[in-house]
A and B are shown apart, each in its own frame.
Chain A
Amino acid sequence: MRTLWIIPALPFVGFLINGIFGRKLSKALVSLIAVLSVVLSFAMVMKVFLEAGNLATSPVHEHYFTWIKSGGFSIGWDYAVDKLTMIMLMVVTGIGSLIHIYATGYMEHEEGYYRFFAYLNLFMFFMLNLVLAGNYLLLFVGWEGVGLCSYLLIGFYFVKDSATTAGNKAFIVNRVGDFGFSLAMFLIAITFGSLDFTKVMPAAAGKPTATLTTIALLLIVGACGKSAQFPLYVWLPDAMEGPTPVSALIHAATMVTAGVYMCTRSAPIFIHAPVAMDTIAMIGLFTAVFAATIGLTQYDIKKVFAYSTVSQLGYMFLGVGVGAFSAGVWHLMTHAFFKALLFLGAGSVIHACHGEQDMRHMGGLKKYAPWTCLVLACASLAIAGFPFTSGFFSKDAILGAAYAHAPWMYWVGVVTAGMTAFYVWRAFWMTFWGDYKGHGHPHESSWVMLGPLVVLAVLSIAGGFLFNVPEILSGMFPIKEAAENGGPGEAVLTGISVAFGLAGVGLSYLMYVVNKDIPEKITSALGGIYTLVYNKYFVDEAYDAAIVRPLIQGSESALWKIVDAGVIDGVVNGAGTQSQGLGSMLRLLQSGNIRSYATWVVIGAVVVIVAIGVGGVK
């Protein structure tokens, strides 16, 4: 019996009900439908997991109908589940369920409650479609679909201009990525004659490296868009305009990791394209450092976590790039736990502070919101790579693999880890320590919100050794992973990275709790560099000046006003004017005088008769 379709279908049904009738339903019913659809979906995933048997040897594959067929080329609506998909399914539905529950509390007083949950359910549908897809085109369906939901949810407060602009930005930047992805798809279809994973992957080894490299590079463009890597990361920080559960679900835990998933899924292609592998590692590493430096300076709590997300995604790509696919996926999973927690915790903090997002107006919240403080501490420990938390394992695996690939990558990664620890804990201290500097009375959130937080906190701490992804996925990726055979002095490497992490935590304690003057001094000492970093290296402004503005102004003044209205219409109307000129000359013949017309007729008759006479009528 084919059952996989039920997994995405459940949230889709939830979307339809809430989307069409939601306005007339009570909030309780809306949230019940929304939450239930995702939880049931999670249950369905579990059922598939338990019934499937050995996914490594016999992946589940289900074909529903032929979607597109032209000539000999056919694309089916196929779902497939192997181990990688299974991990993704669990992460998506599991965290999705928790965040849905959390959101029923968080969004309680918002207008458009039903709309929010309809979008969220739609997102779940597309995300599940993405991970379940049995071919690239179906993956692309999910890929675009989640982008759409991201757009809708970022612009959820559509009366706010900044929100809708951020939504547009997200969608359009993602489109740039999708451009690469779609080109990759076309090239895959030409090269392999199919888009099915089951046909493409085994055949990858036999294809020319140049083609595979092109495909891989184009896929990277796609991944960079969706997973917010340099230079296409710009949309993610702005995406924080959306409600916080959205940031947690879409812009931290699930959607943004789709790029990593896609690259991992395409591992057989990447493995045969070393240039692409290096490219992706470099992009990942650069993004990790780059975003981390920006994260050091931000004051908006969600922006800090957003840059942190960009940075951590960079880590995942580093993992993928150095060949440690499973480590990348591992980090994807643990990151989903602790980053979702960070965002949800941040949401709880924002809730507590009545919508305030600037950390300079927070502080001392550990008194008012102890549970939030506790769970955020768990998450912060995990992201800092504190030993035996979830982040520790996955980050360590990636860094180990990076060292085996190229030691300098390891060192850069370690420094970044230190920075990560610093800015996350900086946020933690600024929020929970010291005195409350905001307005109103902060309060702890309800248990609807705290419940999911606690579950995630447990996962953040214990997720690393509960789910050893490289072990689960062992044998799935054809090349031997450096992380597993262990580099020389593995313990030393681990020690160094942990040390950097702890140093970051310690430094932030020193600067933001013990002696609060230090940041001021450093800021003034750095001067211009600080301004540069604080303003995010002016990347947005540069894009605006280099691409957006020239494009719009060029289109308006050059293309529309000059080419269209000037040249083309000019030529056309010019032809018209010329004809008119000729006409007005000919018009002189039309004197309006009947007798002169008659004379013309006679002349014409003479000419015709002469012509006939000359031609000789038989």
Chain B
Amino acid sequence: MNLLEILIAVPAAGFLVTLLMPRAQEQFVKLFTLGVSLLVFALSLGLVTGYESGKTGQQFVHNVVWISNPDIHWHVGIDGLSLWLIILSTFLTPIAILISWSYIKKQVKEFFAFLLLLEFGLIGVFAAWDLFLFYTFWEVVLVPMYFLIGIWGHDRRIYAAVKFFLYTMVGSVLMLAAIIYVYTLAGTFDYATILELFRSGRIALNHTQETLLFLAFFLAFAIKVPLFPLHTWLPDAHVEAPTAGSLMLASVMLKMGTYGLVRFCLPMFPIAARENAGWINVLAIIGIIYGALVAMVQPNMKKLVAYSSVSHLGFVVLGIFSFTQMGLDGAVYQMLNHGISTGALFVLVGFLYERRHSLAIKDFGGVATAAPWLAITFLITTLASIGLPMLNNFVGEFLILQGAAQAKFAWTAFAAVGVILSACYMLWMYQRVFFGPLSDDVKHHMPELNMREWACIVPLIVMMVWMGMRTQTFLPAVSETTAQILERTSPAAMVVPAAGSPAVAVALPSVEIAKGGDQNAR
């Protein structure tokens, strides 16, 4: 059992233990889950220190046969891509627990237990190197989130939870079908083996097979991302979810989609990915602009932030499908950035909600007078979200747009409009909530941040500045991994099939790709 497996096991154990606790001991349950999540976070830092840069492939690997027939492995490991996403999950879970401290009033034990279950699933998703295992964790994550929204949500929680669940299930089922099809071809669920089979050309997909499989995987991930026009579950889920649910949903769960794109869609189906990049990027750009425009007119803060997520995640998809080193690096970096800054936005909106018991922008105004520090932390987060330099989002957006510009300048030109619009909607909201005269009913409900809230928000803000300034803490590991993925999808890798393999099906379309690639390399 290596560190990574301990990391997966501890939240699961914590979940079970929490379930066994007496219902009345709410304070103890909270402290216990907080302790567990902090322990997990501390352990996860061991991944960072233990991660050896410069090594290709996964690290902290443990690969044993789980079920021998069909060939399913317990295969976990991390690389530069999953490393930081796992850290992100473990970093945000304690914060999610802290912000729920006084927010959750009913069924306290179950709530905190579900947060640990969620963490377990998330770490598992990012660590899994077996398609079946990945799918299992993918679905495990769905369960606690469904309940978080469905039990502790706001008024329309059932509608939102069901919508969330169904949307995601539609995609997952397609992915499951694709996974099983891949299994029938490869005879194993082990991702590393499958990848090697595909890469060496021992399994040659024909064009139709590859496209269909790609689309099945892509759809599952695109719903999760969510990519326009599959996004409508997100605003509903966010608005109805409790703060911790929104936080985990926006910050980490959406990243499962983009992570899947990078981890599976690109390396397994490089040709289809490149062929379909055009319209996917167009959708991403529509999403960027559309999300921003719709965010601009939202009367509800959480909905606004939710639509802004649609816009931000559009950038990530654009970066992924730009097939450039900078674009991919930026996309991965932006996943983390979005996790931090949008997470912080939800945390802060949660603070406002706890004070005023409303999410409508019109119910606020003049908060800056009553709670200046709340206003300042919100401002910093807002600025991070709209991509102000020296804060985190800027780096990601810069890399993505630069990468997209290398691929096709027009993409960048349109996507950059989103940067203008993001300033519009965030600042308008900020103005309406924090500025202006302070009305009496706001005044009496607006205490300054308390110690617990400080403890939630300060780590996030520190991370915003850190990720904005010292990108070299994070980027090298990411770059190594993305470089490998990129190499795998590069036209050159596809033209040369392995010796003696029937790779005719692969060779044909790759000629076109090679041409396109030359243009990109300009």
- Residues 441-459 of A, flagged 1 when their CB comes within 8 A of B and 0 if not, give 0000000000000000000
Known: A68-B399, A148-B383, A175-B419. A560 touches B412 (CB 8 A): no
Closest to A195 in B: B402
Closest to B383 in A: A148
Is A68 touching B325 in the complex (CB atoms < 8 A)? no
Is A179 touching B416 in the complex (CB atoms < 8 A)? yes
Complex partner residue of A182 from B366, B416, B483, CB under 8 angstroms: B416
Is B296 touching A68 in the complex (CB atoms < 8 A)? no
Closest to B329 in A: A70
Is B296 touching A159 in the complex (CB atoms < 8 A)? no
What is the size, in residues, of chain A's interface with B at 8 Å between Cβ atoms? 51
Closest to A214 in B: B409
- Does A435 touch B at the CB level, under 8 Å? no
Is B472 touching A144 in the complex (CB atoms < 8 A)? no
The residues of A that contact B390 with a CB separation of less than 8 Å are: 141, 145
Known: A159-B366, A175-B420. A73 touches B326 (CB 8 A): yes
- Does A542 touch B at the CB level, under 8 Å? no
The residues of B that contact A572 with a CB separation of less than 8 Å are: 163, 167, 232
Known: A190-B405, A552-B296, A569-B232. A179 touches B434 (CB 8 A): no
The residues of B that contact A70 with a CB separation of less than 8 Å are: 325-326, 329-330, 399, 403, 475, 479
Interface residue stretch chosen among A160-168, A259-267, A279-287, A389-397: A160-168
A232 to B471, CA, bound (A): 34
- Residues 165-194 of A, flagged 1 when their CB comes within 8 A of B and 0 if not, give 101100110011011001100110110000
The residues of B that contact A167 with a CB separation of less than 8 Å are: 431
The residues of A that contact B459 with a CB separation of less than 8 Å are: none
The residues of A that contact B428 with a CB separation of less than 8 Å are: 168
The residues of A that contact B417 with a CB separation of less than 8 Å are: 179
6 contacts between A and B (CB under 8 A): A67-B471, A70-B399, A144-B389, A178-B419, A555-B293, A572-B167
Closest to B162 in A: A576
- Residues 373-416 of B, flagged 1 when their CB comes within 8 A of A and 0 if not, give 00000000001000011100011001101110110010011001
CB neighbors of B among A51-74 (8 A): 65-73
Interface of B toward A, CB cutoff 8 Å = 163, 166-167, 229, 231-232, 290, 293-294, 296-298, 324-326, 329-330, 366, 368-369, 372, 383, 388-390, 394-395, 398-399, 401-403, 405-406, 409, 412-413, 416-417, 419-420, 423-424, 427-428, 431, 434-438, 469-472, 475-476, 479, 483
- Does A21 touch B at the CB level, under 8 Å? no
The residues of A that contact B324 with a CB separation of less than 8 Å are: 71
The residues of A that contact B298 with a CB separation of less than 8 Å are: 560
The residues of B that contact A568 with a CB separation of less than 8 Å are: 229, 231-232
Is A71 touching B475 in the complex (CB atoms < 8 A)? no
Is B409 touching A187 in the complex (CB atoms < 8 A)? yes
Is B472 touching A65 in the complex (CB atoms < 8 A)? yes
The residues of A that contact B431 with a CB separation of less than 8 Å are: 155, 164-165, 167-168
Is A68 touching B297 in the complex (CB atoms < 8 A)? no
Is A171 touching B427 in the complex (CB atoms < 8 A)? yes
Is B389 touching A172 in the complex (CB atoms < 8 A)? no
At the interface, is chain B mostly helix, strand, loop or mixed?
helix
Closest to A23 in B: B372
Is A172 touching B423 in the complex (CB atoms < 8 A)? yes
- Does A610 touch B at the CB level, under 8 Å? no
Is B369 touching A186 in the complex (CB atoms < 8 A)? no
Closest 7 CB pairs of A and B: A71-B325, A556-B297, A141-B389, A186-B405, A555-B293, A164-B435, A158-B435
At the interface, is chain A mostly helix, strand, loop or mixed?
helix
- Does A551 touch B at the CB level, under 8 Å? yes
Report B262 CB to chain A, min CB distance, Å: 15
- Does A471 touch B at the CB level, under 8 Å? no
A190 to B402, CA, bound (A): 8
Complex partner residue of A66 from B167, B368, B472, CB under 8 angstroms: B472
Closest to A19 in B: B376
A537 to B260, CA, bound (A): 54
The residues of A that contact B401 with a CB separation of less than 8 Å are: 182, 186
- Does A127 touch B at the CB level, under 8 Å? no
Is B416 touching A183 in the complex (CB atoms < 8 A)? yes
Complex partner residue of B293 from A144, A164, A172, A551, CB under 8 angstroms: A551
A567 to B231, CA, bound (A): 12
The residues of A that contact B399 with a CB separation of less than 8 Å are: 68, 70
A568 to B412, CA, bound (A): 26
Complex partner residue of B437 from A67, A155, A159, CB under 8 angstroms: A159
| Best-buried of A145, A559, A569 by chain B (most CB within 10 Å) | A559
Closest to A140 in B: B389
Is B436 touching A137 in the complex (CB atoms < 8 A)? no
CB neighbors of B among A529-569 (8 A): 551-552, 554-556, 559-560, 563-564, 567-569
Report A105 CB to chain B, min CB distance, Å: 25
The residues of B that contact A137 with a CB separation of less than 8 Å are: 389, 398
CB neighbors of B among A113-170 (8 A): 137, 140-141, 144-145, 148, 151, 155, 158-159, 161, 164-165, 167-168
The residues of B that contact A67 with a CB separation of less than 8 Å are: 469, 471
Is B326 touching A71 in the complex (CB atoms < 8 A)? yes
| Best-buried of A65, A145, A171, A175 by chain B (most CB within 10 Å) | A175
Is A187 touching B405 in the complex (CB atoms < 8 A)? yes
Is A69 touching B471 in the complex (CB atoms < 8 A)? yes
Is A559 touching B290 in the complex (CB atoms < 8 A)? yes
Closest to A553 in B: B297
- Residues 551-595 of A, flagged 1 when their CB comes within 8 A of B and 0 if not, give 110111001100110011100100010000000000000000000
Closest to B401 in A: A186
The residues of A that contact B398 with a CB separation of less than 8 Å are: 68, 137, 182
The residues of B that contact A563 with a CB separation of less than 8 Å are: 229, 290
| Best-buried of B324, B423, B476 by chain A (most CB within 10 Å) | B423
A134 to B481, CA, bound (A): 30
A140 to B436, CA, bound (A): 31
Using A159-B369, A159-B438 as known contacts, list a sample of 11 further A-B pairs with CB atoms less than 8 Å apart, ordered by residue number in A. A66-B472, A68-B398, A73-B402, A155-B431, A176-B420, A179-B416, A179-B420, A186-B402, A551-B293, A568-B229, A576-B166
Known: A568-B229, A572-B232. A555 touches B423 (CB 8 A): no
Is A560 touching B294 in the complex (CB atoms < 8 A)? yes
A187 to B417, CA, bound (A): 16
Report B283 CB to chain A, min CB distance, Å: 13
The residues of A that contact B290 with a CB separation of less than 8 Å are: 559, 563
The residues of A that contact B424 with a CB separation of less than 8 Å are: 172, 175
The residues of A that contact B420 with a CB separation of less than 8 Å are: 172, 175-176, 178-179
A560 to B293, CA, bound (A): 9
The residues of A that contact B389 with a CB separation of less than 8 Å are: 137, 140-141, 144-145
A168 to B431, CA, bound (A): 8
Report B501 CB to chain A, min CB distance, Å: 30
Is A69 touching B325 in the complex (CB atoms < 8 A)? no
Known: A73-B326, A148-B383. A158 touches B368 (CB 8 A): yes
A453 to B397, CA, bound (A): 44
Report A166 CB to chain B, min CB distance, Å: 11
Closest to A569 in B: B232
The residues of B that contact A567 with a CB separation of less than 8 Å are: 229
A66 to B471, CA, bound (A): 8
Closest to B479 in A: A70
Is B419 touching A179 in the complex (CB atoms < 8 A)? yes
Is A161 touching B232 in the complex (CB atoms < 8 A)? no
Report B175 CB to chain A, min CB distance, Å: 19
